[in-house]
Chain A
């Protein structure tokens, strides 16, 4: 007896130490976890996940290649081995419950965990069973049934990162519980101590539960775990060898009693049905969630072309499973505690059934809650995955989305650019129209079109050649011949000096008068100058202006010619007249050069007269057109613009006159050359 006491005491002390260690580990775990928490949650990178995985890998005793199931099994396996030490006695005592559970376990994944849980749950029931309560036994069966279902169900639930380390710890706790209850049942004296240890257990459970709620990944220091396990093993071996054997005997006894009792219990089938129904529902829901989220993930990954979706999925699954295990065991622990408390309460109060019912209901509520939570988290996870993937793909080869942002801003500008391009095109069209309109009234262009420019150029060529010829003659001449020549040259030059705008006779000569004057002037030149062209242009211009003016006077607005058209016609007429004048000067020069009998002074006087006639004619035409434009200005809505047009006509008339005078000046060398013949 004394030996027994000593043994019990030793076990108890060891248990206390273990519980303390457990609580310490729990805290350290949670701390570790919080630091780890930041990484996977905030950093989206694969690398972060990989590193987390690598951190975890040393914890596993088997190869990483093995699936989650393997790992899931492996960790509880150790516990099982520990249990088997005890379980051996169970089996030898031929506990039917235990056997049954084992066979069930072989069918379902996570069997070992279930077994442990069952035992953990079962063990507190030893106390009431000793009290000889029949209902208690049936409850045991209920609890037993519920546990494995929970396990399976949670397995399906979406990930909630946790490490196997905490699971192991929990295993330790469970075994402690077994011991605790075993001890409790053995002696009333130890009961107080047990309560102390139970408190520690609770504390640990609370810690882990807190962790649970935070949904965190726990990376446990596995070394500490290992030592804890070793201690645990030792303890268990000792206790099973020396002390626990009798306790277990009693346990098995009560269990067998319960087994027989449970068949006739009322709560058995009820709870069975409820939980199974619930279980099926939750399982399907969670399975769906998992499948959907995983399916989505796969689709996303496959569709987007993420680096290795399988790795990611596996990682996620591993984490999930670890978490599930931990949680499961947590809950199992909690549950067993809860039950024990209830039982403890129930025994004296005699309301055992009710309390149990409540506990069942609460567990169901919890199930529903967690399932709902899981569904939500699953959905959120899916969304998150989509978001992450999208972001990753978007950022591929484009850090900080700079290019995309630039593209976007460009796109915004693009619409503006298009609008601007359209406006620009319209503006250009307008400009082309304007330039074409301007061209119609552009004197130089029209002058060129009437070949005035090329005639002037040709005349210039002749003038230059004559000048060169003249200079060479002057160089070769000498004496009186030279002085005589120079005198003649000066004479011609003097004749050709144009009066400085002094002959503003403005005799308002009509067409016939002008023609007469021109013909008379040309006659004196002694060369056939074709005045027909000039005369034609002149008549045409006068006719047009008269028609225009009569139209304006007739107050018949329909046929009124616009100021712009009048202006265009005026400029065109001036250009044509000038071009034809220059042409005649050019022809005159050519003819004079081939003329045999020259009289340069006469020619000069005639040409001066011709120039005078031509310039006066040009100004006359300009005046006629201006009158026409003035009349148009009175009718116009924009008299200022029309006035600008009138100014333009006079300006071009002056320009025209200067062209004619320039042509005349080019004739001087041609005339001078005549003196040398």
Chain B
């Protein structure tokens, strides 16, 4: 169960070829667990986790784990729209999954409305690199990311390496865009929502501010 109190809710979508490890990545991120075997995702599954950005703002991430299977492609497309960011996931040990990334990226940019989404390039199965199965070099992935203005990170849902970083980077970027005013909370768009306020939190701040004012004069 997710912590009840949060300031914002961001909706992020994970897209990429099937079996690249989207569901495993999310499972590790939300449960801290890794399953060697898992059923392919049907349509979309949902995960949620509460994290904090640098200034302490609590953000609930609602994570849409889409099915990578081609047959669900038409269905998953309909889920893109209400997201604020997308994680383009590929398998480090699967060259084709990386080669499909430009297609996923284009799809995301086309489907995600009304804002230009925050995108991140996430390589999975980093733990398998040690056994010499790397098919995508970090350099080429990094170059692609830089070329397209993406944040790049290589992760492992098995060891947990960089899993947190991947999601934190996207969350922080979305939050920064809120603060700069690029992203706004809009009716009819569920990419960003305000959450439950901390009870009395605002009142306490006011109470603290008032005496400070009165003492100065």
Contact = CB atoms under 8 A, between A and B. Distances in A.
Contacts of A462: 75, 78
B46 A451 contact: yes
B199 A590 contact: no
A432 B199 contact: yes
A266 B78 CA distance: 135
Nearest to B214: A410
A457 B190 contact: yes
Contacts of A589: 43
A431 interface: yes
A456 to B, nearest CB: 11
B79 interface: yes
A38 B74 CA distance: 103
Contacts of B207: 421
Contacts of B2: 449
A587 B78 contact: no
A449 B75 contact: no
Nearest to A414: B211
Given A449-B2, A461-B78, A590 B48 contact: no
A454 B46 contact: yes
B128 interface: no
Given A428-B200, A445-B4, A590 B75 contact: yes
Contacts of B71: 594
A498 interface: no
Contacts of B43: 458, 586-587, 589-591
A428 B190 CA distance: 31
Nearest to A586: B43
A587 B46 contact: no
Nearest to A595: B71
A455 interface: yes
A458 B199 contact: no
A475 B2 CA distance: 45
A587 B43 CA distance: 7
Interface string B128-141: 00000000000000
B178 interface: no
Nearest to B62: A454
Q: How large is the interface on B (under 10, 10 to 19, 20 to 34, 35 or more residues)?
A: 20 to 34
A431 B201 CA distance: 13
B209 to A, nearest CB: 14
B42 interface: yes
A451 B48 contact: yes
B44 interface: yes
B189 interface: no
Contacts of A431: 199-200
A514 B75 CA distance: 31
Interface in B65-86: 71-72, 74-75, 78-79, 82
A439 interface: yes
B1 interface: yes
Interface string A446-478: 000101001101100110010000000000000
Nearest to B45: A451
A462 B213 CA distance: 55
B26 to A, nearest CB: 12
Contacts of B199: 428, 431-432, 435
Contact of B42 (A421, A428, A451, A590): A590
A432 B1 CA distance: 19
Interface string A419-440: 0010000001001100110010
Nearest to B11: A454
A329 to B, nearest CB: 58
B4 A593 contact: no
Contacts of A439: 4
B39 to A, nearest CB: 8
Interface string A394-408: 000000000000000
A590 B44 contact: yes
A587 B42 CA distance: 7
A436 to B, nearest CB: 7
A421 to B, nearest CB: 7
Nearest to B67: A590
A462 B80 CA distance: 12
Contacts of B62: 454
B61 to A, nearest CB: 12
Interface in B1-59: 1-2, 4, 42-44, 46, 48
Interface in A573-603: 586-587, 589-591, 593-594
Nearest to A445: B4
Nearest to B190: A457
Contacts of B1: 449
A127 B202 CA distance: 102
A379 B93 CA distance: 102
A258 B196 CA distance: 113
Interface string A21-47: 000000000000000000000000000
Interface string B191-208: 000000001100100010
Contacts of A445: 4
Nearest to B71: A594
B42 to A, nearest CB: 5
Nearest to A596: B71
Nearest to B203: A428
A609 to B, nearest CB: 21
B72 A594 contact: yes
Contacts of A428: 199-200, 203
A461 B82 CA distance: 10
Contacts of B200: 428, 431-432
B117 to A, nearest CB: 17
Nearest to A461: B78
Contact of B78 (A449, A465, A591): A465
Interface in A112-132: none
Contacts of B79: 458, 461
Contacts of B203: 428
A454 B44 CA distance: 10
Contacts of A436: 4
A55 B44 CA distance: 102
B112 to A, nearest CB: 14
A589 B42 CA distance: 10
A451 B43 CA distance: 15
B82 to A, nearest CB: 8
Nearest to A457: B190
Given A421-B207, A454-B62, 10 more contacts: A432-B199, A449-B2, A457-B190, A458-B46, A461-B78, A461-B79, A590-B44, A594-B71, A594-B74, A594-B75
Which A-B residue pairs are the 6 nearest by beta carbons? A590-B43, A451-B46, A594-B71, A428-B200, A454-B46, A432-B199
21 contacts: A428-B200, A431-B200, A432-B199, A432-B200, A435-B199, A439-B4, A451-B46, A451-B48, A455-B46, A457-B190, A458-B46, A461-B78, A461-B82, A590-B42, A590-B43, A590-B44, A590-B75, A591-B42, A593-B74, A594-B71, A594-B75
